[in-house]
Chains A and B, each alone.
Chain A
Amino acid sequence: MTIKRTVNMTKQSDDVIVKTLSRLLIPFMQIYALYVIAHGHYSPGGGFQGGVILGASLILLAITYGLDNALRMMSERLNTILCSLGVFIYAGIGLLCIMLGGNYLDYGALDKILHVDIAHARSLGILGIETGVGIAVMAVMASIFLDISTGGLPSTKERDQSD
């Protein structure tokens, strides 16, 4: 049995059912991802899991509505910026704790600039870390998928020629 290549990722899918359902589901997936990130410190979930769900919503968009639409929402430039921004938030909060006199990622030291008690400062510090991790993971997931599916060819014209 030979499997012939019938899928062209550049164009939109011609399947009405899948397109309608992904249009319905993608906003709810993204809201759910934000819920998972925000509730990371006292329920299952966290930055990595929420970031993966956000990245999966972008991958679903790229599969159903075509790579060009996905790249219009999440370009390579934006991907690179968000990757670095997520790591910067994580490492920045960690280093801020050292500057305020604690250990690396010792959120209790943040109470001096947040003007709350130590327990609240720890909670807010963890939320900041989760946000950074979520942004970085979402950007890396989307970036890996886009790199694989474009085959390293950035523009639509080059991809059509190589097909």
Chain B
Amino acid sequence: MEVIKILSIVLILIGCFFFTTGTIGLIRFPDFYARMHATGKGDTLAVLICLIGLALYHTFHHGAVLDGIKLVFIAVFMFMANPTATHAISRAAFRCGVKPWTREENK
């Protein structure tokens, strides 16, 4: 039981680390596409790892197997929907003529 507890804590902490990097990218990156890149990839992985940690904790520590299965379902649907939403938003931006960022000296 202690092993499962430690494993789920480690997974949730790794997920929080990826959330933090995604948020830093969202704030610091120069243009729209780079920001979508940071949040789209980082948050998808972070949600997956966090939810797997929570599902392990619920299934083995609380014995609530149904809650664990529901969390795994949420993780699967987030893993399908989040990259697709990112793709659709950046494609719409590209078609509307948003220019990607370049360095000044390359212009």
Taking a contact as CB atoms under 8 Å apart, the answer to whether A3 and B97 are in contact is yes
Interface size on A, as a range, is: 10 to 19
Shortest C-beta distance, B88 to chain A (Å), equals 5
Instruction: Tell me whether A25 and B81 are in contact in the complex, defined as CB-CB below 8 angstroms, given that A15-B91, A18-B88 are known contacts.
Output: yes
Q: List B88-104 residues whose CB lies under 8 Å from chain A.
A: 88, 91-92, 95-99
Chain A residues within an 8 Å CB radius of B7: none
Taking a contact as CB atoms under 8 Å apart, the answer to whether A2 and B97 are in contact is yes
Q: Is A1 an interface residue (CB 8 A)?
A: yes
Interface size on B, as a range, is: 10 to 19
Chain B residues within an 8 Å CB radius of A1: 97-99
Q: Is B87 an interface residue (CB 8 A)?
A: yes
Chain A residues within an 8 Å CB radius of B84: 17-18, 21
Task: Tell me if B's interface is mostly helix, strand, loop or mixed.
Answer: helix
How far, in whole Å, are A28 and B80 apart by their CA atoms in the complex?
Answer: 12
How far, in whole Å, are A1 and B94 apart by their CA atoms in the complex?
Answer: 12
Give the contacting residue for B87; candidates A2, A17, A25, A28; CB below 8 A.
Answer: A17
Q: List A1-58 residues whose CB lies under 8 Å from chain B.
A: 1-4, 6-7, 15, 17-18, 21, 24-25, 28
> Which of B81, B84, B91, B95 has the most C-beta atoms of chain A within 10 angstroms of its own C-beta?
B84
Taking a contact as CB atoms under 8 Å apart, the answer to whether A4 and B80 are in contact is no
Chain B residues within an 8 Å CB radius of A18: 84, 87-88
Taking a contact as CB atoms under 8 Å apart, the answer to whether A21 and B96 are in contact is no
Q: Is B29 an interface residue (CB 8 A)?
A: no
How far, in whole Å, are A17 and B87 apart by their CA atoms in the complex?
Answer: 8
What are 6 of the A-B contact pairs (CB < 8 Å)?
A4-B97, A6-B96, A15-B88, A17-B88, A18-B87, A25-B77
6 nearest CB pairs, A to B = A21-B84, A3-B96, A6-B95, A18-B88, A17-B87, A17-B84
Add 4 more A-B contacts to A7-B92, A15-B87, A28-B77 (CB < 8 A). Answer: A1-B98, A15-B88, A18-B84, A25-B81
Q: Which residues of A contact B (CB under 8 A)?
A: 1-4, 6-7, 15, 17-18, 21, 24-25, 28
